[in-house]
Amino acid sequence: MAHPPSSPSNSPQATWPSPQAPWPSPQAPWHIGVDIGGTFTDVVLADDRGDLHSVKSPSVPGDPAEGLIAGLRMLAAHCGMTIEVLLGGCALFVHGSTVATNILLERKGARAGMLSTEGFRDSLEIRRGYRPDPWDHRTPYPPVLVPRYLRLPVTERIDRLGREVTPLDMGSVDRALDVFEAEKVESVAICFLNSFLDSSHEQKVAARVRERLPNVTVSVSSDIVPLAGEYERTSTTAVDAYVAPRLTRYLGALQSKLASLGLKQPLLLVKNNGGTASVDEVLRKPVALTLSGPAAGIGALDYIGASLGTRDLISVEVGGTSCDVLLMSGGRVNVTDTLSIGDYDVLIPSVEVHTVGAGGGTIARVDGAGVLHVGPQGAGARPGPACYGFGGEDPTVTDAQLYLGRLHPGSYAGGTLTLDRARAERAIREKVAEPLGIGTEQAAAGILRIVEQRMLHAVSYISVQRGLDPRRFTLVSGGGAGALHIAEVARGLGCRRAYVPRVAGVFCALGMLNSDVRHDFVRSRLTQVEGTDPAGITRDFEALEASAKATLARERFADKDIDFERELDLRYRGQQWDVRVRLPAGAFLWSDVRREFEAEYARLFGHTQPGAPLEVVNLRLAAFGRLRKPALKARASSSAPAVPRETRKVWLVGENVWRDVPIYTGAALFAGHALQGPLVVEEETTTILLSATDKLVVDAAGNYLIDIGVIAGAVK
């Protein structure tokens, strides 16, 4: 098979896209969303006319705030203004970040101490006493976040009914604080047995810690996660204490820096639950930021669902490091309490995002047995893929895309990156093709097949394994690399449609602009449905709503801008796992609740137990402070036909052949344009690849709707 030219045919010098001329000045006031990822920092601006502007700037792992400010300066330059003017005209600034996650994964958190009920100091290390994989009894758990000599006992005891069995001994507390002071701990986690039933002991101890150690942050389990589950509650509180000091410093410094540069509005942060909150509220529970960036995908799917007229969507967001999959069914995204980050368990309301190591920077390698592996290791922002020229020598998914002609060599991200095709070819040939004894094209194509199979499995995990057929969903591309894979992943799943937002490369940053403030409240109440008065449950919810209103009032929301959603965790008597059911506001009937519970139970498990006793486990309240959303402008239409900018040799994996493929510039495509593949569309923040059987239509919103065709005889 003939090799393609070493540079694209019929192409100008490989510096496209050229540095952008300044955009038309946005109309104030505008909203700004910033998402700091492992490779790029994404910045989106939506102005009062409904225009969107976006940039991608390389992240700075050592100082995320530096990458954020650099991204804002880049955006300001493109808009023909200073960063001070940009921030001065901002009415809403929303920030999502993996800072808390990275603190945990890199184990660079605080020196934390823990106060536990006497006799239970080792709950954190014992965990649940079983392993997720019963056949793997050798792989060690990660080091505990609080070493044993800093996990100190306190004499006190609340029993399983919430009654005081052993009075609180403040002398034991003071002795522990003497040790913490000598050891210079930066934070203290307080986690007593059964404190979710009676928090009085924890609250008294927290007051003593703040009195004696005023510069130490305090994490109290009954404030953070007032739920049954001794280990999970202890682990969550330990994680909160571990990340709190560094996160507090980061957010304080960032807020001060943005204010000094002209930002007049409070900074909002994306939380695990997909909503936002002010810095002051987030710092009451820093653990709620451990899934900050990807959770904003809910807001982006809300935008897209409104545009498409469907509420059944699956987003596949492929960035530089990972692939995040999020499912919306009937307009609802599943929120779960159980989250594991680096094998540290966190019990906090979190959007159910399934993440796999399948990003543009995912590294390909051949093992000693001659088997090709792709991931989960990644090249990160530095040194990055081999084609970046920053010192990386390992081939990555981006190198394969570049070598196979899907990406153009030259300048990206406003000139901050230059992709070198020769470096990509050398890395693939030396590290994959030669060890396997195959051609470089086959090696690069193999890398892409494997990574797309991993993406397909990720979608199956969050859909098929939840009792949902992915074929009834529209697959949505997110992230800078997602649109290069979305058609093949959709084809493999049997999906008939895929959708690529014009700003797919800044998917989560866009979602931040469509996210409301959200706070979650929970109360444990283990009781039998039979014999429980629904009016009592309603009164408990009203008490939770009063607390929620007080929280939202601190963030300056009036009652008219506040909404609530009520849910119950239910289970059949004797079972361990709960099923969540939504309740209407006000009065309800248990018969309606049972019907909803059994419908969901049947979807999840394929059967029900008609007539079996039901238990209430937890009451849950989601409180929303509604924010004004930007109304995005429709894309202009054009009667002129779409004309490709050039043609380029592209290796089509499904056909296993090089073909001359038309290359379109996204800025030259307008509403109503319809194109038949194969083709490549190069947008500012993403690149779309279609095979010969796929068809692309630019919709009224200016985004790309793809009809997925079947490739006869495709190599799989």
- At 315-342, the pLDDT tens digits run 999 988 788 899 999 988 988 888 888 7
**DSSP-derived 3-state class of residue 39:** coil
444-463 CB burial, b ≥16 within 10 A, e <16: bbbbbbbbbbbbbebbbebb
Both tokens of 274, joined, read 């997909």
**DSSP-derived 3-state class of residue 374:** strand
pLDDT tens per residue, range 540-573: 999 999 999 999 999 999 999 999 999 999 999 9
Among the residue ranges 14-18, 308-312, 442-446, the one predicted with the least confidence is 14-18
- In the prediction, which pLDDT does 366 show? 95
Cα–Cα distance between 427 and 393 in angstroms, integer? 6
| Interhelix angle 230-260/64-78, nearest 10 degrees | 40
Amino acid making up residue 396: T
Q: Three-state SS across 257-273?
A: HHHHCCCCCCEEEECCC
- In the prediction, which pLDDT does 135 show? 85
Pairing of strands 187-191, 112-117: parallel
- In the prediction, which pLDDT does 10 show? 34
Nearest to 522 by CA among 543, 499, 501: 543
- In the prediction, which pLDDT does 207 show? 97
* Secondary-structure breakdown of the chain: helix, strand, coil percentages, each rounded to the nearest 5: 35, 30, 40
Q: Give, in order, the Cα–Cα distances in Å from 403 to each of 20, 378, 495.
A: 25, 18, 28
- In the prediction, which pLDDT does 563 show? 95
- In the prediction, which pLDDT does 692 show? 92
Among the residue ranges 89-93, 112-116, 654-658, the one predicted with the least confidence is 654-658
- In the prediction, which pLDDT does 397 show? 95
pLDDT tens per residue, range 357-367: 888 889 999 99
**Would the pLDDT of 715 be above 70?**
no
Enumerate the domain spans of the chain.
Answer: 107-252, 517-625
Given a contact cutoff of 8 angstroms between Cβ atoms, the answer to whether 415 and 408 are in contact is no
Among the residue ranges 7-16, 412-421, 452-461, the one predicted with the least confidence is 7-16
CA dihedral 187, 190, 196, 197 (to 10 degrees): -150
| Interhelix angle 421-428/440-463, nearest 10 degrees | 90
**Would the pLDDT of 193 be above 90?**
yes
Q: What percent of the chain has pLDDT over 90?
A: 62
Mean pLDDT, range 265-284, rounded to an integer: 91
Contacts of 596 (CB under 8 A, 6+ apart): 581, 582
Given a contact cutoff of 8 angstroms between Cβ atoms, the answer to whether 693 and 676 are in contact is no
Given a contact cutoff of 8 angstroms between Cβ atoms, the answer to whether 322 and 479 are in contact is no
Cis peptide leading into residue 22 (ω within 30°): no
Mean pLDDT, range 265-290, rounded to an integer: 91
Given a contact cutoff of 8 angstroms between Cβ atoms, the answer to whether 664 and 682 are in contact is yes
- In the prediction, which pLDDT does 9 show? 35
Query: DSSP string covering 660-680, please?
Result: EEEEEEGGG--BT-EEESSEE
**DSSP-derived 3-state class of residue 698:** strand
11: confidence class by pLDDT, cuts 50, 70, 90: very low
637: confidence class by pLDDT, cuts 50, 70, 90: confident
- In the prediction, which pLDDT does 27 show? 86
**Would the pLDDT of 372 be above 80?**
yes
Cα–Cα distance between 82 and 57 in angstroms, integer? 17
Mean pLDDT of the chain: 89
Hey, which CATH number is domain 517-625, 1.10.3470, 3.30.1490, 3.30.1380, 3.30.420?
A: 3.30.1490
**Would the pLDDT of 346 be above 50?**
yes
Host H or E run for residue 302:
helix 297-308
- Which residues are registered as beta bridge partners of 566? 583, 621
Angle at 127 between CA 125 and CA 128, to 5 degrees: 160
Nearest to 318 by CA among 682, 651, 39: 39
Given a contact cutoff of 8 angstroms between Cβ atoms, the answer to whether 562 and 603 are in contact is no
Cα–Cα distance between 684 and 104 in angstroms, integer? 33
Amino acid making up residue 229: G
Sheet order of strands, 217-220 included:
151-154, 112-117, 187-191, 217-220
**DSSP-derived 3-state class of residue 438:** coil
Q: What is the largest CA-CA distance in the chain?
A: 82
Cα–Cα distance between 329 and 312 in angstroms, integer? 5
Cα–Cα distance between 194 and 181 in angstroms, integer? 27
- In the prediction, which pLDDT does 375 show? 81
Mean pLDDT, range 346-366, rounded to an integer: 89
- In the prediction, which pLDDT does 13 show? 28
**Would the pLDDT of 70 be above 60?**
yes
Q: 107-252 has which CATH code?
A: 3.40.1360
**Would the pLDDT of 131 be above 80?**
no
Amino acid making up residue 648: R
Both tokens of 661, joined, read 């493929």
Both tokens of 170, joined, read 């403040």
**Would the pLDDT of 629 be above 90?**
no
Host H or E run for residue 218:
strand 217-220
- In the prediction, which pLDDT does 438 show? 95
- In the prediction, which pLDDT does 269 show? 93
- In the prediction, which pLDDT does 414 show? 65
